[in-house]
C-alpha cells in the first residue's frame, strides 16, 4: 500500500508513523541469518546465548528501531485481498475517505507487526481498534510487538516447528544494529531504520521516544502483554546493552503457565486475571 501524505497525520497520532516508514523503505529479509540467531534463542530466558554472553531485543530496541510507544494501555479481538482494495487512494478523496484508507494502512501494518505464518492475514479482533483512530495512540504498541516476537521465537525453538512468524523485520533490524558487521553492502544509504544510522540516534528517533518515562520502562523487568501472549522482559540479564554493568543473573522467571495460553479453547486467558 502507498504511504499517502494525507494519511500520515493519522498514523502519527496512532504512534505508527515510524513503523510505516520502515515498511515504505524496507529491505529484503535475510532468512539464513535470522535462522542462525533463532538457533541461539533460549525460551526460558528470552535471550540469545552468544559466545560473549546473552543479548536480546528489548523495549529500547523496539522504540529505537520502529519508533513505537512502549507505554500506554495493554493490547489485549482474517481478512484477505485487503491490500489490493486499499492500494490507491483517489486524488479527490474526502476526509472521511482518507480516514478509511488510514484504517486500511494501519491494518496492513498490523499484518507486519502481528502477522501469522500466512504473512498476509490479519485477525478481525483489530477492527475495534482501527475504528477509533483518535484512540490508537494510547496503546503500548512497542510492548505488544516485542511480546509477539518473543512468543514466535519461543514457538520456533520447538524442533517440531519449521516456520517462523512474527515481526521479523524488527529482529533483522536489531541484528544489523547490534552486529554491524552483518549489515549488507550499501545499507547506509537507507534513511530508516535506525540500524542504518547508528551514529545519529538523536537525529533519527522521534523526541518522544527519549522521554524519561520511556527510558525508565526500557530498564524494567516486567510483563509484555499482547492479548493471550504474555512474555517477560528480562532486561536484567542484558544490562550491558543499556550501558550498565552486568551482574550475575537471577534465575530465569518461570513462565510455563503463561506460555501454555494461546487464546483458544476453554482455558482462555484475560488481563483481568493477571491484574488480580
Confidence of residue 271 (pLDDT cuts 50, 70, 90): very low
Residue 274 has pLDDT above 50, yes or no: no
DSSP type of residue 253: P
Residue 168 has pLDDT above 70, yes or no: yes
Task: Please report the pLDDT score of residue 178 as a whole number.
Answer: 85
Confidence of residue 55 (pLDDT cuts 50, 70, 90): very high
- Strand 41-42: give its sheet, edge to edge: 41-42, 47-50, 53-55
Confidence of residue 270 (pLDDT cuts 50, 70, 90): very low
User: What is the domain partition of the chain in residue ranges?
Assistant: 5-260
The least confident of 75-89, 131-145, 163-177 is 75-89
Under 8 Å between Cβ of 48 and 94: no
C-alpha cell at 145: 510487538
Under 8 Å between Cβ of 125 and 31: no
Helices (H) and strands (E) in the chain, counts: 13, 5
Residue 187 has pLDDT above 70, yes or no: no
Residues in the chain: 276
Residue 29 has pLDDT above 60, yes or no: yes
Task: Please report the pLDDT score of residue 203 as a whole number.
Answer: 59
Residue 65 has pLDDT above 50, yes or no: yes
C-alpha cell at 24: 515504505
Between CA 246 and CA 260 the distance in angstroms is 31
Q: What is the chain's mean pLDDT, rounded?
A: 77
- Residue 44 burial (CB < 10 Å; 0-12/13-18/19+)? middle
Q: Cis link prior to 127 (omega < 30° from 0)?
A: no
Find the DSSP H helices in the chain: 8-13, 17-24, 31-38, 59-66, 82-85, 95-114, 127-131, 141-156, 168-178, 201-204, 212-218, 256-259, 271-275
Higher model confidence: residue 237 or residue 250? 237
Under 8 Å between Cβ of 177 and 198: yes
Between CA 224 and CA 70 the distance in angstroms is 10
Amino acid at each position: 500500500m502507498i504511504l499517502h501524505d494525507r494519511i500520515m497525520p493519522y498514523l502519527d497520532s496512532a504512534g505508527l508513523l515510524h513503523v510505516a516508514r520502515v515498511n515504505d523503505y524496507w529491505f529484503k529479509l535475510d532468512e539464513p541469518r535470522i535462522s542462525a540467531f533463532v538457533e541461539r534463542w533460549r525460551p526460558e530466558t528470552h535471550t540469545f546465548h552468544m559466545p560473549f554472553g546473552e543479548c536480546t531485543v528489548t523495549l529500547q530496541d523496539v522504540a529505537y528501531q520502529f519508533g513505537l510507544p512502549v507505554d500506554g494501555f495493554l493490547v489485549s479481538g482474517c481478512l484477505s485481498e485487503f491490500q489490493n482494495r486499499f492500494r490507491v487512494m483517489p486524488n479527490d478523496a474526502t476526509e472521511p475517505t482518507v480516514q478509511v484508507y488510514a484504517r486500511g494502512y494501519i491494518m496492513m501494518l498490523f499484518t507486519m507487526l502481528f502477522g501469522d505464518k500466512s504473512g498476509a492475514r490479519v485477525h478481525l479482533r483489530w477492527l475495534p481498534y482501527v475504528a477509533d483512530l483518535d484512540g490508537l495512540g494510547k496503546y503500548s504498541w512497542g510492548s505488544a510487538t516485542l511480546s509477539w516476537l518473543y512468543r514466535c521465537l519461543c514457538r520456533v525453538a520447538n524442533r517440531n516447528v519449521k516456520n517462523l512468524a512474527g515481526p521479523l523485520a524488527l529482529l533483522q533490524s536489531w541484528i544489523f544494529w547490534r552486529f554491524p558487521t552483518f549489515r549488507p553492502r550499501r545499507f547506509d544509504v537507507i534513511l530508516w531504520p535506525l540500524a542504518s544510522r547508528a551514529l545519529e540516534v538523536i537525529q533519527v528517533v522521534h523526541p518522544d521516544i527519549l522521554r524519561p518515562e520511556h527510558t525508565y520502562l526500557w530498564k524494567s523487568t516486567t510483563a509484555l502483554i499482547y492479548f493471550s501472549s504474555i512474555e517477560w522482559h528480562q532486561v536484567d540479564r542484558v544490562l550491558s546493552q543499556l550501558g550498565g554493568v552486568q551482574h550475575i543473573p537471577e534465575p530465569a522467571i518461570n513462565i510455563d503457565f503463561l506460555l501454555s495460553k494461546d487464546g483458544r479453547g476453554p482455558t482462555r486467558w484475560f488481563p483481568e486475571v493477571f491484574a488480580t
